[in-house]
Amino acid sequence: MALFLETNNLTKTFGGVAAIFKLSFAMGQGTVFSVIGPNGAGKTTLFNLLSGIYRPSSGQIHFRGQDLVGLSPHEISHIGISRTFQTPQIFFNMSVLENCLVGCHRHGVTGFVAAALHLPRAVSEAKRMREMAMENLAFCGLDHLADRDSDALPYGELKRLELARALSTQPRLLLMDEPAAGLNDSETKEMGALISRLCETGVSVMLVEHNMALVMAISHRLLVLNHGEYLAEGSPEQIQSNPKVIEAYLGSGDESDG
């Protein structure tokens, strides 16, 4: 059986400087897999490579046996990789529900004309998408706010809307960039529980997050990057006791939760 996600000698350089250098790792399906490392380690660059925003300078990425290199972000979203952004990518002039429907429409097969003419297929599809969006909102605890203006949401709920929005493309793999950034302790715990539940429903999660307590609590495996290179991989226990990791990162004193 093909591996879920795998990179091989993945490299991305900017003006001769490698942000990711000869990185090889594999992520298993059904896991919360975290990528950690000091600022500038290459975490965001890795997400941009996996989601097709950047094209690798060299190396390979395979997702469920399929080569991702050269595919557009749209194509990558279509084969099942979605992402959340550290700063929620919300349309503030739309309602909470409409924000989720924006993502759903990628999965629609019926055209605009059919929808405008209220052809039966378009109507049932619109209904199906609305139901799916409502399910995702309910999963994120936001269904009671579906008709609210998005700009009226407090930050903690915006972060959960960002998750609901990303789920509307029905991803198999969700890349989450700092889901707990800006959240208080109880909101952070809620977000952690949400990510664990999401994984239980069959969505694999790759996580970049600075809150080490959260990362260690919910991750099955961790990959540690340092200056764009592979430093270590293992369970939370293995990573926390790995001398190389402690020296490069956890012991550096620049993490509030380290």
Ligand X SMILES: Nc1ncnc2c1ncn2[C@@H]1O[C@H](COP(=O)(O)OP(=O)(O)O)[C@@H](O)[C@H]1O
Query: Site size for ligand X, by CB under 6 A?
Result: 10
Residue of the chain from 10, 33, 43, 129 that contacts ligand X (CB under 6 A)? 43
Identify which of residues 35 and 142 has a Cβ nearer to Mg ion in the complex: 35
Identify which of residues 192 and 228 has a Cβ nearer to ligand X in the complex: 228
45 binds ligand X (CB under 6 A): yes
Q: Which of Mg ion, ligand X, none is residue 83 near (CB under 5 to 8 Å by kind)? A: none
Please list every residue from 3 through 42 that binds ligand X, using CB under 6 A.
14, 19, 37, 39-42
Identify which of residues 4 and 21 has a Cβ nearer to Mg ion in the complex: 21
Minimum separation from the CB atom of position 15 to ligand X (A)? 7
Please list every residue from 24 through 53 that binds Mg ion, using CB under 5 A.
43-44
Q: Which of ligand X, Mg ion, none is residue 42 near (CB under 5 to 8 Å by kind)? A: ligand X
Are the beta carbons of 82 and 176 closer than 8 angstroms?
Answer: no
Identify which of residues 41 and 101 has a Cβ nearer to Mg ion in the complex: 41
Residue ranges that bind ligand X, judged by CB under 6 A: 14, 19, 37, 39-45
